[in-house]
Chain A
Amino acid sequence: MDPARAKRSSWLNDQRVRGLAYQILLLAVIATLASGAIYNAVVNMRARGVPMGFGFWNDVAGFDINLHLINYSNLSTYGRAFWVGFLNTLLIGIICIPLATLLGFVIGVARLSPNWLLSRFALVYTSVMRNTPLLLLLLFWYNAVLKSLPGPRQSISIGDVVFLNNRGLYLPMPVARDSAVWFLGTVVAAIVSAVGFHVWARWRQDRTGAQMPTVLVAAALIPGLSAIVTAVAGAPFGFDLARLSGFNLKGGLQIIPEMAALVFGLVTFTAAFIAEIVRAGVLAVPFGQNEAAGALGLHRGLSMRLVVIPQAMRLITPPLTSQYLNIVKNSSLAVFIGYPDLVQIFAGTVLNQTQAAVQVMAITMAVYLVISLTVATALNAFNARYALNGR
């Protein structure tokens, strides 16, 4: 720099010095706030006799949970209760994500339908769902619908197979028989060979251009072989039906009303958002792509499958993933209707019993953060693989 100029402008106006000063100032403010908060927290927690460490993790919880995928009783530890809640949160995610995707795609396609009435129906559905709070939907389904159903003795039943009453939804529970091993083995073998055939057909098509009916072969192999095994070895599964005994239904697969309401509410709510994403994605593919596919001689189904959908998926996937994360995060509304998820058990009951608010909240938030970050990383990997390259 020109020495005369350097003298004229004070170092106070140097951008680098100023930048450094701003950053140091910010860090100092954050450090002051954080240390103040920590100091206050320690003082306040001591004064209230709140446990400071994670020792409560191995203490006996002493409360019951009405839905647990792993062994749990009121003699189990708080740590065990955490895992029960965590698995219940994942369970809701695993059930709701495929259902919401399916319903969302159906409504999204209905929204795009050339049938005016059908597309209006889909529009009304998405408008209502997107402009109503999820909590209101959950309370409506739980309090006004499921809890108002008749008791077990007056259950609503569909052909004495499926029962619905105010204690939940009862489905037939599949029970494996001796031949189930054979059956499952055959199904796996059929799927493996269908996939193998598909790979071989692809390889052959790449080299010769000749196509093989892979879908037909798969459709023949999997149900066909299953049917043969069932005919030879007998039915692989029996079904345990719910029966009325005394004042309650016994047996079957009971889905507690809290879970039914949560799944129903989350699926119908999220499906509206997914439908809008699907619609926007398909509409964003230029119509020329459709015409080009037609000019190449592809009929409507093929041009959808090979040209439009792959391009739309690139636009649909990122917002779709954030909807999946929303399902997991929104499942925390379970706390309002008493479904035992992570927030209800851990940030609710465990926090109240142990008073260890800082530790419990830190663990709860860490779980959601880990889920969010994992999914975000996976999404970035997907985007890197399928993003438009070149051009």
Chain B
Amino acid sequence: MISRRSLASAVLLAAAALGLGGVADTAAQEKKTIRVVLHAPLRITDPIITTAYIIRNHGYMIYDTLFAMDANQKIQPQMVEKWEASADKLTWTFTLRDGLKWHDGKPVTADDAIPSIERWAKRDSMGQALAASTKEWKKIDDKTFQLVLKEPFGFVLESIGKPSSNVPFIMPKDVASAPADKAIADHAAERWHIGSGPFKFARAEFQPGVRTVYEKNTDYVPRKEPASWMAGGKVVKVDRVEFINVGDPQTTVNALIKGEIDFYEQPPFDFLPQLKKAASEGVVVRDHNKLGNGSWLRINWLQPPFNNVKIRQAVLAAIAQEDYLAVQIGDADFYRVCASFFPCGSTLESSVGAPNFAKPDLEKAKQLLKEGGYKGETIVILHPTDLKALTPLGPVTAQTLRKIGMNVDLQAMDWATVISRRAKKDPPAQGGWHILHTFWVNADILNPINNAGINASGDGAWFGWPKDDQIETLRKSFAKETDPAKQKQLVDTLTKRAFEVGLYAPIGQFQWPYAYRTSLSGVLDGPAPVFWNVEKK
């Protein structure tokens, strides 16, 4: 007869064996699935109403674009077969390529492309600039449509082929007819997930904040050119991609090392040494976005003392970018000092009139404070404590301002509170702010039109609401200019003016490498992680 003790032992041993054996339980099933941990969970699924990068990343999986940027930062046709511009550059004709289908099998037509672009243009800064010069979009036939401008616009293709938020994704017309401030999930409850991209959205498996599943779109007809950044042939080489939300970075790192996940988009910088050591366990750490990212110290022009240009100049004069980069990134292989509003290393890099961000002049900063009549006002800094890339920046600014004699209130809060408060124009004591920090993927701040921070139109500007007519004139001139040499001259003039008025402070440029398993090959360079071209052994 079996004793109770023996039975209990047997049960425990069986459970342990099952548990230990469970490690291999899905190895066979997961062969063609890439398990990805991105920087945030996906909940909102409309890449037009928000610029959040997680939604952009989702968009690239299921949608396609008329044009796309390649690794040389040149705009290439994607959904478009051919295009031409009239001699006066006022009429642009586009023809869609053959074989484009929605995920429900219906063909993609001009009737889908036009409302998609029009909706995007209402939200995006480059789209708004394009729309201001647009007379109309008109359909010629099912595959052909035209953009008719009322005045020259130097960035037509750069606008409708922009690689990062808001990306001008093409959606079915019944989805794209949603008002620009209404989520497509509200507007088209049954079809909001339909795209024409290389992956299909597995709606039945979608668990917001937990897991998003994409399956290979076997009907997708990729271009013949090799994949290059967001352009070229989008050939899918796996069956599924899963975006998994893992809330804890240490757990994600451990899971990557043990092979439970395949790809980690933004490993915190203090984990990079551990990940690099895990090379022997099949982990690679590699930068795939040479353009990098740029961090900003954004000043609120509306609130005293920063309504005074001397005070703004004082802050810029005191900044040492190395201080920010050292605490934010740590590893000098992944950052550089960059005294430009546009990415260093890009064609529009310009540091004309920049303060010396490598060697700040604190005495000059103090002098500027005095000239500006600084009366000891307490500077409120919004300090998010739950965003790994931004959390280190607030204390550096607080310390910098205190060094030049300013009083500082560094207010800790979560990111949701930051984005709620940053929209307020009230005085800081009533819920407003003086300074906040943010960072952008450099593909989003390439030029004076798509760089939201350069907009100095006051009320229509990005948070901080700077107002400078000279900058706005230069921006409008840039938008119309088609000669690259003249564009650069305009950028130099604009940069000088922007530093003069203390528009905001660039506080460094950095790369953020991916960490992924060596079982993955074909991971593309680019400003956003994409999963076509990626194979899994």
Does B bind A? no
B-side residues, CB < 8 A to A, are: none
Interface residues of A (CB under 8 A from B): none
